[in-house]
Homo-oligomer: A and B are copies of this chain.
Amino acid sequence: MKYRSLQINTPSRVVVFAFSAVILLGTALLSLPIAVEGGERTSWTSALFTSASAVCVTGLAVLDTAGHWSTFGEVVILVLIQIGGFGIMSLASILALIVSGKLGLRARLNTQAETRTLGPGDVRQVIAGVAKVTLVVEALTAAILTVRFMTGYGEPFGRAVYLGVFHAVSAFTNAGFALWPDSIMRFVGDVWICLPLALAVVAGGLGFPVYAVLRKSWRRPSRWSLHAKITLGMSAILLFGGALVITILEWNNPKTFGPLTPGLRILAGFFHSAMTRSGGLNSVDTSQMNENTWLVSDVLMFIGAGSASTGGGIKVTTFALLGYVILAELRGEPDVTAGRRRIAEQLQRQALTIALASVAAVVSGTLVLMMLTPFTLDRVLFEVVSAFGTVGLSTGITAQLGPAGHLVLTALMFVGRLGPVTLGAALALHVQTRRFRYPEERPLVG
């Protein structure tokens, strides 16, 4: 039986191939002696890890980004994260366009049942749209940061622009690389640095389909697509709920929030909450947070950001759909409904598949890393979820995991970056051929 058509697999394969090619190119460039401060060469596993971390906009680092790499190396990383972030948002949006046939764009779709096709004009429109949003948010963020670095920290104009652009790109693409060895911990008290970075991360994590809807009808929420409503609502719940819980948990921790004023503690809590939703910068020492905060962060990182965004995780819509399914079950409603819309049964199954496959990836990765390294479960789980969710936060063990451990994390970043997206697209495009059906039977569950 032929279940999938060729058109389905091709786009997914293109995405996987393109990302692999860019990662390998980046590995080659980062292996060059000129990429390194001082001239000591980088091992190929570290170069591969850094390239994959950049292209998958994860931000985990085995080497101190500012200390190890030369300016050439830093620019290579900057270009890789820009390509990675722009690439995933564009490609996922195009896949989504193929899947849904609409994104609030004028789409020239063949309306015949199974053969949806996409004109070159649609692709151009998506890429232009993504480019526009990226440029606007990054330019705005970079401008604010540049001014702040000049006025607040006395950086000369050129250096301030470089720092501003690098971190604006790093934030909007949700990459999470920083040019200070302590990430942005030195700015924990500076709302003019923390807030723009957090907002850029949140913006990058909403995803292109949401921008398209907001651009068309941001004043009329009643006309928003269900996707935009769920993404915005769930993102807000996770962002503020997470901020509240994290602020409470760390309030008195003398090694993190303790020394801050109450206002700055709330800012730091909001910042950390935003960063778990795949940003990956840290304004306090993540390794000093308490275990409960790590666990809460694990949950937030696993859920991740919006579909067709620069963020990772199973995505907020997937998570929300699982919630709607459970709610419908508990209420005994035959249909799963969300905001006066019925969720297709096929889509419920897709959300389930993505969530469970992701749980399986995290559990397997954790088991393997536990066996390869001497670290405790709480730290290993945090590292695995952070890699799989392309978040980039760490309890400080990344550099000490060894080459084998780094390869495992590299694989997790790659799978976490492309798995849910391409799986989501491939699943949604399945050709439904019902030639015959087996008789139904109901084993017991529970």
Q: A-side interface residues toward B, CB under 8 Å?
A: 3-4, 96, 99-100, 209, 225-227, 230-231, 291-292, 295-296, 299, 307-308, 314-315, 317-318, 321-322, 325-326, 328-338, 340-357, 359, 363, 366-367, 370-371, 376-378, 381, 420-421, 423-425, 427-428, 430-434, 437-446
| B3 adjacent to A333 (CB under 8 Å) | yes
B-chain residues with CB within 8 Å of residue A348 when the two chains form the complex: 349, 352
Kindly report how many copies of this chain are found in the complex they form together: 2
Name the CB-closest residue of B to A245.
B367
| B437 adjacent to A335 (CB under 8 Å) | yes
B-chain residues with CB within 8 Å of residue A377 when the two chains form the complex: 291, 295, 376-378, 381
B-chain residues with CB within 8 Å of residue A341 when the two chains form the complex: 438-441
Name the CB-closest residue of B to A360.
B326
| A440 adjacent to B370 (CB under 8 Å) | no
B-chain residues with CB within 8 Å of residue A296 when the two chains form the complex: 367
Complex formed: what's the CA distance from A1 to B101 in Å? 35
Name the CB-closest residue of B to A226.
B441
| B420 adjacent to A446 (CB under 8 Å) | yes
Name the CB-closest residue of B to A230.
B443
Say yes or no: A439-B307 contact (C-beta < 8 A), given A295-B366, A347-B445, A434-B335: no
| B439 adjacent to A424 (CB under 8 Å) | no
B-chain residues with CB within 8 Å of residue A338 when the two chains form the complex: 443
Say yes or no: A226-B443 contact (C-beta < 8 A), given A291-B376, A295-B370: yes
| A227 adjacent to B443 (CB under 8 Å) | yes
B-chain residues with CB within 8 Å of residue A440 when the two chains form the complex: 341-344
Say yes or no: A446-B349 contact (C-beta < 8 A), given A291-B370, A326-B357, A329-B427: no
Beyond A332-B427, A341-B438, 10 additional pairs, beta carbon < 8 A: A209-B444, A315-B445, A318-B445, A332-B431, A335-B437, A335-B438, A336-B349, A337-B438, A343-B441, A343-B442
B-chain residues with CB within 8 Å of residue A340 when the two chains form the complex: 438
User: Chain B CB within 10 Å — which of A318, A321, A349, A421 has the most?
Assistant: A349
B-chain residues with CB within 8 Å of residue A431 when the two chains form the complex: 332
Q: How far is the CB of A211 from chain B (nearest CB, A)?
A: 13
Complex formed: what's the CA distance from A187 to B49 in Å? 49
Complex formed: what's the CA distance from A356 to B86 in Å? 34
Q: How far is the CB of A208 from chain B (nearest CB, A)?
A: 10
Name the CB-closest residue of B to A419.
B446
B-chain residues with CB within 8 Å of residue A366 when the two chains form the complex: 295
User: Chain B CB within 10 Å — which of A332, A376, A437 has the most?
Assistant: A332
Complex formed: what's the CA distance from A342 to B439 in Å? 6
Closest 9 CB pairs of A and B: A424-B446, A3-B332, A420-B446, A227-B443, A332-B430, A307-B444, A341-B441, A329-B353, A377-B378
Complex formed: what's the CA distance from A354 to B427 in Å? 23
| A353 adjacent to B330 (CB under 8 Å) | yes
Name the CB-closest residue of B to A382.
B377
Q: How far is the CB of A7 from chain B (nearest CB, A)?
A: 13
Say yes or no: A307-B427 contact (C-beta < 8 A), given A295-B367, A342-B439: no
Say yes or no: A421-B446 contact (C-beta < 8 A), given A3-B331, A349-B348: yes
Complex formed: what's the CA distance from A371 to B295 in Å? 11
Complex formed: what's the CA distance from A427 to B325 in Å? 12
B-chain residues with CB within 8 Å of residue A353 when the two chains form the complex: 325-326, 329-330
